[in-house]
Amino acid sequence: MEVARRRGFVWPSSEIYGSIAGFIDYGPLGAMLKRNVENLWRSFYVFQEGYYEIECPTVGNEAIFVASGHVKEFADKMVQCPHCGEYLRADHIAEENGIENAGTLSAEALQAALYELPCPSCKEPLGEAGVFAFNLMFQTTIGPGSQRKGYLRPETAQGIFTDFSRLLRFYRDKLPFGAVQIGKSYRNEISPRQGMIRLREFSQAEAEIFVHPDRKDHPAFHRYADYTAPLLTIARQLDGQEPAAMTMRAAVDEGVIANEYVAYYIALTHRILTAIGVDPVKLRFRQHLIDERAHYAADCWDAEVYSGRFGWVEIVGIADRTNYDLRSHAGHSGTSMTVFMPYDEPKRVVKRRITADMGVLGPRYRGKAKAIADALAASEPGEDGARVTVDGEEFFIPADLYQVREEEVEVRGEEVMPHVIEPSYGIDRMIYVALEHSYAEEEVEGEIRKVLRLPPAVAPIQVAVFPLMNRDGLETVAQTITERLTQCRILAQYDDSGAIGRRYRRQDEVGTPFAVTVDYETLEDNTVTVRDRDSMEQVRIPIERLPEVLSALISGAATFREIRA
């Protein structure tokens, strides 16, 4: 983090006024790294999967979050130290003191567990300090003098759900389809003491994939069927075992993962995380325990990455959320959130139609007659009549006040409410673990070399261009090369300050994978050296081949060893 701050990746926000925990600024290199990570994510979800990206406001009407359940449920358990007054996250204190799965404990159980534990700030025992639910949403009002309540979105997902009908039309009324959103989310975290891991404003990349509830076979499952990922299943957790590597096909066939969609996105997540520089040995997929999983979810897995500083950290959540979100929004908004699924062949079915005698019902029940007739149409009448409820009032309608007819009708299909598969990524956490896992200190020629081994696809600067000396025309050639590489959409940086060794070290520290050096030989034969950050080996290349060679190295189409051979 010291290198990250000093070299312009990330630092606390608004330091000149005293920064507030949970807010960070990305500096020039950090912002570039973030864009690259987001673009790599897009290359999979938007380009490979074909899920278009949308962009919704970060401020939302209260109604959205009432329907989504966030107003009522999106709370963490909080405790206030009776001695120093510090607000603390109750389950975190319990977990830091060895109580496992404290997040699943009730407020009362947590309160009892905290009794003898010390406050992390003043070290006094928390004693009888009460445990309360604290809603994590930032509330605001919309418009001047307005009473209209709004919230900063706590996740990007809700915009995709509220846009469901428009997206369905965009995708020509067919399932499956998906939409993604990358953007800021806000959570008023109680006590964010974990740097980039727990922020109050952070970026998420979420995909919502709408599938037929009975067809959860991914159409391109073959792509990842043989892909292996380390799975920490519920059973292995309960037995205290380590994760076991399994292919996605075996995990689905053996019922370990609920369906192909969830398995597919576990494999895809493994690919994305390792592609940004996460060490595969420190990556596992942990299945949510039954009491940890949302009651509506069919299956849920977290991609967890081991951090030397924070232990195992959740980076991505992958869930089969069934139709919970669409059902809630349909119920609260009164908008249909189903998809008409035509049958291959129309079917003839017998339907019962109940028609009320409005000539009698009208005068007898007046304003309620229409509602009673509607309720009657959906009722299950007995021999003497039907019992219906309207506005909480029960009515008995005798059998001579309606007619029951059975009719054969042609049905062309059915309305289906899709299920949602949701892979949800925390971009800032991805960046933190990529930085931590890429960072190394090694001894080279008696000196410590600090190096960020970021993969070329995400490195903020892809190529550094150095003139060996800042004279004799070397600098002009180096500047021309920098310009040429930038025109070829390679992120190149010209650097002529300090000794060449220092320039290499500076670029190693910020993760620049390749460095081009213009020397006196260049003036004679138009060749330059290309140095590989990781092996520190060099190769001589004609200037005109630089764009092609560097593009191949950056995209991974060629390795440095192949170029040297």
By the criterion CB under 6 A, which residues form the site for ligand GAP? 155, 157, 187, 189, 198-199, 202, 204, 206, 314-317, 422, 424, 426, 428-429
Nearest-angstrom CA–CA distance, 349 and 367: 34
Contact predicate 509/450, CB 8 Å: yes
CB of 79 to ligand GAP, least distance (A): 19
Nearer to ligand GAP, 224 or 432 (CB): 432
CB of 347 to ligand GAP, least distance (A): 38
Q: How many CB atoms lie within 10 A of CB 215?
A: 16
Nearer to ligand GAP, 38 or 428 (CB): 428
CB of 481 to ligand GAP, least distance (A): 39
From the list 284, 400, 416, the residue with the least C-alpha distance to 340 is 416
Helix axes 28-42, 427-438, angle to 10 degrees: 110
Q: How many CB atoms lie within 10 A of CB 455?
A: 19
CB of 78 to ligand GAP, least distance (A): 15
Nearest-angstrom CA–CA distance, 192 and 19: 13
From the list 240, 247, 254, 299, the residue with the least C-alpha distance to 270 is 247
Nearer to ligand GAP, 60 or 513 (CB): 60
43-to-169, 179, 184, 346, 498 alpha-carbon distances in Å = 24, 14, 20, 40, 38
Nearer to ligand GAP, 88 or 451 (CB): 88
Nearer to ligand GAP, 137 or 478 (CB): 137
From the list 111, 87, 88, the residue with the least C-alpha distance to 99 is 111
Alpha carbon distance, N-terminus to C-terminus of the chain: 37
CB of 326 to ligand GAP, least distance (A): 14
Nearest-angstrom CA–CA distance, 259 and 249: 10
Nearest-angstrom CA–CA distance, 223 and 260: 11
CB of 45 to ligand GAP, least distance (A): 15
CB of 137 to ligand GAP, least distance (A): 12
Q: How many CB atoms lie within 10 A of CB 65?
A: 23
Token pair for residue 217? 């076979």
Q: Phi then psi for 88, rounded to 5 degrees?
A: -135, 150
Nearer to ligand GAP, 426 or 467 (CB): 426
Q: How many CB atoms lie within 10 A of CB 237?
A: 17
Nearer to ligand GAP, 315 or 361 (CB): 315
- Closest-by-Cβ residue to ligand GAP is 426
Nearer to ligand GAP, 306 or 494 (CB): 306
Nearer to ligand GAP, 292 or 475 (CB): 292
Nearer to ligand GAP, 136 or 417 (CB): 136
CB of 322 to ligand GAP, least distance (A): 14
B/e letters for 187-213, b = 16+ CB within 10 Å, e = fewer, are bbbbbbebbbbbbbbbbbbbbbbbbee
CB of 447 to ligand GAP, least distance (A): 36
Residue 561 CB partners (closer than 8 Å, separation 6+): none
CB of 293 to ligand GAP, least distance (A): 12
